[in-house]
Amino acid sequence: MNKIEHIGIAVKDIAAAGKLYEALLNTPVYKVEEVASERVKTAFLQSGPNKIELVEAMSPESPVAKFIEKKGEGIHHIAFDVEDIEAEMQRLKAEGFLLLNDKPKPGADNKLVCFIHPKSTNGVLIELCQERR
């Protein structure tokens, strides 16, 4: 894994949260998009070399909706940038980590993604991200 790609924050209202984080970080939201595979809307902010992803559920069945219902708004996941997501997925499976998907899937911000179950990472949802080529 190369670096932290972004920190994902689950929110109920992406427009209101976007304004709050724009004021907090003194930087604008630079991208808003829907991710159909996860049933979410995302908004990204850049603060120096760091990115924040705000994530709003678009459906009550979305994993993010269930997260907010159970834990409330807040940090949802930490995403790491990887060079070869399939090789990294194989390595992590061999190490005994439980992956939430068998193959990389399209994610936000032109990425292929895979999630690692929080049960195998001390309660933290981890996302692997590879830039789509």
| pTM given for the model | 0.93
Q: What tens digit of pLDDT does each residue of 87-133 get?
A: 999 999 999 999 999 999 999 999 999 999 999 999 999 999 999 98
Considering Cα of 70, then 73, then 75, then 77, what sign does the dihedral take? positive
Report the distance separating Cα 126 and Cα 53, nearest Å. 14
From 41, 10, 48, select the one nearest 26 (Cα to Cα): 48
Dihedral sign, CA of 18, 58, 51, 125?
Answer: positive
What does the pLDDT look like over 11-51, one tens digit per residue? 999 999 999 999 999 999 999 999 988 899 999 999 999 99
Instruction: Assess whether pLDDT exceeds 90 at residue 2.
Output: no
- 54 pLDDT above the threshold of 90: yes
Give the C-alpha distances (Å, rounded to integers) separating 85 from 3, 13, 75, 97: 14, 31, 23, 14
